[in-house]
Amino acid sequence: MRVIFVSVLLLFLHVLSSPGQLTPQEAQERLGRGINLGNTLEPPYEGGWNNPPAEERYFDAYKEAGFSTVRIPVRWDKHTAATAPYTIQSSWLDRVEEVADWGLERGMFVIINAHHEEWLKSNYESADTLARFVAIWRQVAERFKDKSDSLLFEIINEPYGMTIEQVDELNDTILKVIRESNPTRIVIYSGYRWSNSEELMQARIPDDPYIMGYFHSYNPWSFAGQGNGTWGTLSDRNQIRDKFQTVGQWARDHGVSIMISEFGAMNGCEFNSRMQHYFVYVQNSLRQHIPFMAWDDGGQFCILCRSSNTWFIIKDILIYTTLESPDWFKAEESGEGVHLTWMNMGEYDTLILERGPSVSTIEPLLGLSPTATAWVDSTAIQGYNYYRLKAYLHDTVFTYSYPVRVYHTPATMVVSPDATGLHLYPNPPKEGTIYLDTGDLPAGIPCSWELFDMKGQSVASGTFVTCEGDIELNPLPGKLTAGTYLFLLHETRRTHTLRLVVD
């Protein structure tokens, strides 16, 4: 009884002397948007899988992108003696500390854990096995005890193979060990098996004021983890919404702060489904005020391309998605071009449509009415077209929709002449001279025109006071390179699209 009293007293005095101590409730609000440094420190040996050893520049990239938390999975087994006193190699402790410090020095939250410790999960009932894991955490806690409270400890990653009773016992055991040297550092616990939200809610909540729960979700696994089929129906979305609502309400009812520290969809998934999947996960995290850390392993779940130090477009979904982002964004072929539709979830000052032939080359295409919910792109290029909406909520505050892509064949929507008899001649042009026969267009209406190459770049434009008869297009570039061009004539009723071939 005396030992318990002294421990409680020391904890109370520590809290009094640390008025700025981060609480779990504050952490749930401040951890925000995060990312994993996966497949790096948790292989048997660093650099042993698909990534090279960690570099400091990754953390510059994380910070500049806007992430506030980095979760660093760490394997201790291969760097720890197999017999008592189970000493961790000092070089490995130094290395883990170096990588963690890269995040802390940039003002970020950092999470370190025990990851892929299969030796523990498969032989938990052995007294020596548990003693070794206890010794590991005692050494880790002692090494990092003087770090700021922006460093969080996660007891065990996905303890599959252990029973719920064993995981409850392990959580309590390791928490007591950590408290010997870190009385108020936030410690993160999980449920059993794969640490899904359902398993977190079944776990015994540790009796400690500085704990948080975590869960992982790759639901549905057949899509997100195996790349099968498509995803994004209302029913699909509602399943994720219900998952987050349930675990969020459970956390509020029990006074537990929580996070989702892994989620994602592999890059073998259908593109539009994958983009929407990340978007829906982020939105539901925000709706329930649950901080998130997307899984990035530099491979099938790659977000930061580490060799080139460039980001895949998923980064923008993670950073810029809000509850007011344009949603239900769709792109479909139509007779007039690519038909785009969406829903506006906020009141926008400005709405910009972006397009590119690849995810890395998406650029602003044109400004739309802030209340627009559809547009037909009659200048879409041959092949894949990638689209995204950028919505300004205020002059400098913006959000994105998730990107979509569609394969387009311009010939399916280009008619020359069109139903009005409108056509270009001679086609191909001779010596740069080209005429527009206005056909049956109503006489006297004003018109404007644009000429686009197949990359969607405008190469010429002009206006007519009245659009009637045969009109010479002047100035038209006399040295157009060989290829196919799209000619758009804008009049009061509609836009007409014609094809111009230059040989």
pLDDT band at 418 (very low <50, low <70, confident <90, very high): low
Would you say residue 431 lies in a domain?
A: yes
Question: What's the rounded Cα separation, in Å, for the pair 72 and 54?
Answer: 10
pLDDT at residue number 163: 96
Which of helix, strand or coil describes residue 25? helix
Would you say residue 7 lies in a domain?
A: no
pLDDT at residue number 60: 98
- Check whether residue 391 and residue 350 sit in a common domain: yes
- Check whether residue 270 and residue 360 sit in a common domain: no
Higher-pLDDT residue of 456, 44: 44
Displacement of CA 414 from its chain's centroid (Å): 36
Mean pLDDT of 149-161: 97
- Check whether residue 34 and residue 183 sit in a common domain: yes
CB 324 within 8 Å of CB 403: no
pLDDT band at 335 (very low <50, low <70, confident <90, very high): low
DSSP state of 80: B
Q: Regarding beta strands 187-189 and 292-294, do their DSSP bridges make them parallel or antiparallel, or are they unpaired?
A: unpaired
pLDDT at residue number 432: 66
Question: What's the rounded Cα separation, in Å, for the pair 257 and 214?
Answer: 9
Mean pLDDT of 282-294: 98
Q: Please tell me the total number of residues recorded for the chain in this structure.
A: 503
Indicate whether 380 pLDDT > 50. yes
320, 338, 356 — which closes off a domain?
320
pLDDT band at 479 (very low <50, low <70, confident <90, very high): low
Would you say residue 12 lies in a domain?
A: no
Higher-pLDDT residue of 468, 180: 180
User: CATH number, domain at 388?
Assistant: 2.60.40.10
* pLDDT tens column, 248-276: 999 999 999 999 999 999 999 999 999 99
User: CATH number, domain at 219?
Assistant: 3.20.20.80
Would you say residue 9 lies in a domain?
A: no
Mean pLDDT of 52-81: 98
Would you say residue 4 lies in a domain?
A: no
Please name the residue that has the structure tokens 């079944």: 202
What pTM, to 2 d.p., does this model score? Answer: 0.80
Cα dihedral sign, 195-199-200-205: negative
- Check whether residue 102 and residue 176 sit in a common domain: yes
- Check whether residue 387 and residue 485 sit in a common domain: no
Identify whether 333 is a catalytic site residue.
no
User: CATH number, domain at 429?
Assistant: 2.60.40.3080
366, 387, 411 — which closes off a domain?
411
Would you say residue 8 lies in a domain?
A: no
- 484: CB partners within 8 A, 6+ apart: 382, 410, 454, 499, 500, 501, 502
Identify whether 118 is a catalytic site residue.
no
- Check whether residue 346 and residue 217 sit in a common domain: no
Identity of the residue numbered 3 = V
- Check whether residue 388 and residue 498 sit in a common domain: no
* Exposed e or buried b per residue across 249-286, where buried means at least 16 C-beta atoms within 10 angstroms of its C-beta: ebbeeeebbbbbbbbbbbeebbbbbbbbbbbbbbbbbb
Indicate whether 478 pLDDT > 70. no
Q: Which of 154, 158, 270, 491 is catalytic?
A: 158
Indicate whether 214 pLDDT > 50. yes
- Check whether residue 335 and residue 199 sit in a common domain: no
Question: What's the rounded Cα separation, in Å, for the pair 6 and 437?
Answer: 95
| Of 86-100, 369-383, 387-401, 478-492, highest mean pLDDT | 86-100
pLDDT band at 492 (very low <50, low <70, confident <90, very high): low
CB 173 within 8 Å of CB 167: no
- 263: CB partners within 8 A, 6+ apart: 216, 217, 218, 281, 292, 294, 295
- Check whether residue 56 and residue 164 sit in a common domain: yes
Would you say residue 2 lies in a domain?
A: no
pLDDT at residue number 10: 40
pLDDT at residue number 316: 98
384, 411, 438 — which closes off a domain?
411
Residue 92, number of CB atoms within 10 A of its CB:
18
pLDDT at residue number 171: 98
- Check whether residue 222 and residue 306 sit in a common domain: yes
φ, ψ for residue 151, nearest 5 deg: -95, 125
What count of Cα atoms within 13 Å lies in the side-chain half-sphere of residue 459? 19
The mean pLDDT of the chain is 90
- Total domain count for the chain? 3
Question: What's the rounded Cα separation, in Å, for the pair 303 and 267?
Answer: 10
**How far is CA 348 from each of CA 197, 240, 363, 370, 376, rounded to the nearest angstrom?**
35, 27, 19, 5, 20
Flag the least confident range among 38-52, 139-153, 297-311, 326-340. 326-340
* pLDDT tens column, 12-35: 444 433 457 999 999 999 999 999
Would you say residue 467 lies in a domain?
A: yes
| Domain of residue 28, residue span | 24-320
CA-wise closest residue to 324 among 394, 405, 375, 272: 394
Higher-pLDDT residue of 369, 456: 369
- Check whether residue 371 and residue 424 sit in a common domain: no
Q: Which of 46, 154, 199, 262 is catalytic?
A: 262
Indicate whether 401 pLDDT > 90. yes
Strands (E) located in 134-192:
151-154, 187-189
- Check whether residue 162 and residue 111 sit in a common domain: yes
Mean pLDDT of 402-430: 72
- 110: CB partners within 8 A, 6+ apart: 69, 70, 71, 72, 100, 103, 104, 150, 151, 152
